[in-house]
Amino acid sequence: MASLTSPPPLTMRSTHVHDYDRFYIGGTWTTPRGGDKIEVVSPIDGSVVAVVPEPTDLDIDDAVLAARKALNGSEWRSTTAPERASLLDSLADEIEKRIPEIAEIFAVEIGAPLAVGTQFHQMSVSILRQFAEIARTTEFTVDRVDGGNRVRIVKEPVGVVGAIIPWNGPIAAAAFKIGPAVASGCTVVLKAAPEGPLTAYVLAECVEAAGIPAGVINIVPGGREVGEHLVTHPGVDKIAFTGSTAAGRRIMSLCGDRIARLSLELGGKSAAIVAPDIEFAEVLPHLIPASVGHTGQVCAAITRVLLPRSRYTEYTEILAAAMSSLPLGDPFDAAVALGPIAMQRQLERVEDYVRIGLAEGAHIATGGSRPDELTSGFYFSPTLFVDVTNEMRIAREEIFGPVVVAIAYDDIDDAIRIANDSPYGLSGAVFTHDDSVAEKVVREVRTGQIFVNTAGLCVTQPFGGFKQSGLGREGGPEGLDGYLETKMVQFATAGDNA
């Protein structure tokens, strides 16, 4: 298989990476069972930048068999938690060495500016290093006394994990699953999205270079059909999925048929509450990257901005001016803040929601169309809708693009009501100088993460959602729980057998 080491410089005018022809299964690069191919299209200019093999159900079977063999084998079963921690550190080292290269590939296949790609993959390293430390400090066996009986509580690996990751941040999403899986002693079959397989191939190379034992981590790209085969496979004990709520609902149904263990990190429509006591200039440095960073293609993006009615016009004018000034274009240009939307169908989805918003009676303060100066590629101007009510579809449905809605509220209780009036509950923020207001919002808004006078994504603490934003948590010590089963052992006391 060709290597991605030291690739030629990449630009908008020359975006071909190179092709792959194998999968990483059982610690080796295996020949696909079928002959179908996946074309990787760059959103920079719409060109095909690579071709990779498309797996069949038989390839998934091979990967699950390899993971099961490793799980049951003496080499992996006999590893200690500190040894598994060292493997995670080694994997983090391999990824860290290749971050500049990975950021370039990520720019080509997904359109993320180099700074965004660098940040995403630094996060991946942080996640893996944290789970290495968690492995070292977690007590997997605890002895207790219960009513005079000696009891042992043992935390054991859940088994083979089917990890399904999205295109918008493949290695970061993978780290959230590989980290706790390896820390706990599980094995993994990782299915990457067909829209973004190239960084996943680099991850496979890093797994190999890190010396992860054969079969512990197996990586294949693939679409929905092989994804469903993985979800329903009897050799898979747990599914860990990151993606849309619609797909998560389907996966939950399939897992329910066989009572498979399941964690879901799904969509969001997160709200920032801006109190009237703060100047909007203080909010902008936090709000802009949290709302339209990575072209809004982040599940935890702040896409509803709740503003006091008394300052609504003032605040929306400032926000519109800031959004309209964001540099949009070539992700290899260091001055660019936003790259293209990742794929044609996603661009069309964003355009559909703009039409929906206008039909619902909202107005566009800035953006709302493709930029005239960028005639090729999947670019869309950052868009702010004003005069939005929380009943509109653009305020309730995840758009997954650079679209923000501004909603007026009457008082803080009204703002909290609006924030909670959503099928989602993934992230959120409050901006205020009043500590009592901040504490009230933090206490009453039902969301998995919430930030005070800042916004973003914290990957080294528990991350996950309320309501339709998911099940379970990723990150932090809480992220390990879903990869463990609890066994109770009770020992006979002296005299029980007399």
Kindly give the pairing relationship between strand 302-308 and strand 363-366.
unpaired
Count how many domains the chain has. 2
Kindly give the pairing relationship between strand 484-491 and strand 149-157.
antiparallel
User: Do 312 and 236 share a domain, yes or no?
Assistant: no
User: Do 88 and 224 share a domain, yes or no?
Assistant: yes
Alpha-carbon distance of 127 to 33, in angstroms, equals 34
Contacts of 126 (CB under 8 A, 6+ apart): 459, 460
In Å, what is the CA distance from 152 to each residue of 131, 444, 495?
24, 39, 19
User: Do 70 and 190 share a domain, yes or no?
Assistant: yes
Which pTM was predicted?
Answer: 0.94
In a domain, 230, yes or no: yes
Among 477, 493, 418, 465, residue whose Cα is nearest residue 139: 477
In a domain, 447, yes or no: yes
Q: Exposed e or buried b for every residue in 223-237, given b needs 16+ CB within 10 A?
A: eeebbbbbbbbebbb
User: Do 258 and 282 share a domain, yes or no?
Assistant: no
In a domain, 464, yes or no: no
Which residues are known catalytic residues? 265, 299
User: Do 447 and 305 share a domain, yes or no?
Assistant: yes
Q: What pLDDT shows up at residue 15?
A: 58
Alpha-carbon distance of 253 to 117, in angstroms, equals 34
Segment holding 39, helix H or strand E: strand 37-41
Among 177, 166, 161, 169, residue whose Cα is nearest residue 128: 177
In a domain, 2, yes or no: no
Kindly give the pairing relationship between strand 37-41 and strand 48-53.
antiparallel
pLDDT mean by block of 10 residues, the chain; 498 residues: 36 64 98 97 95 98 99 97 99 98 97 97 98 98 93 98 98 98 99 97 98 98 97 98 97 96 98 98 98 98 99 99 98 97 98 99 99 95 99 99 99 99 99 99 99 95 97 97 98 69
User: Do 257 and 274 share a domain, yes or no?
Assistant: no
Q: Which domain holds residue 105?
A: 23-266+472-485
Residue type, 187: T
Q: What is the CATH number of the domain that holds 369?
A: 3.40.309.10
User: Do 253 and 279 share a domain, yes or no?
Assistant: no
The terminus-to-terminus CA distance of the chain in angstroms comes to 66
User: Do 436 and 395 share a domain, yes or no?
Assistant: yes
In a domain, 492, yes or no: no
Segment holding 155, helix H or strand E: strand 149-157
Go through the chain and tell me how many residues it has: 498
Roughly what angle, to the nearest 10 degrees, separates helices 224-232 and 57-72? 40
Among 260, 304, 300, 301, residue whose Cα is nearest residue 463: 300
User: Do 324 and 253 share a domain, yes or no?
Assistant: no
Q: What is the CATH number of the domain that holds 220?
A: 3.40.605.10
The residue with tokens 């901040």 is 438
Torsion, Cα of 105, 111, 112, 115 (10° steps)? 70
DSSP 296: G
In a domain, 4, yes or no: no
User: Do 47 and 146 share a domain, yes or no?
Assistant: yes
* Count of Cβ atoms closer than 10 Å to residue 397 Cβ: 17
Tell me the H-state helices in 361-432. 393-396, 412-420
Alpha-carbon distance of 477 to 479, in angstroms, equals 5
Contacts of 413 (CB under 8 A, 6+ apart): none
In a domain, 378, yes or no: yes
Alpha-carbon distance of 201 to 199, in angstroms, equals 5
DSSP states of 266-295: ----EEEEE-TTS-HHHHHHHHHHHHHGGG
User: Do 325 and 448 share a domain, yes or no?
Assistant: yes
In a domain, 466, yes or no: no
DSSP 42: P
Q: How far is CA 140 from the centre of its chain?
A: 27
Extract the tokens encoding 78. Answer: 């006999």
User: Do 417 and 326 share a domain, yes or no?
Assistant: yes
- DSSP 3-state assignment of 345? helix
DSSP states of 57-85: HHHHHHHHHHHHHHHHSHHHHT--HHHHH
Query: Is 320 within 8 Å of 292 (Cβ atoms)?
Result: no
Alpha-carbon distance of 408 to 386, in angstroms, equals 9
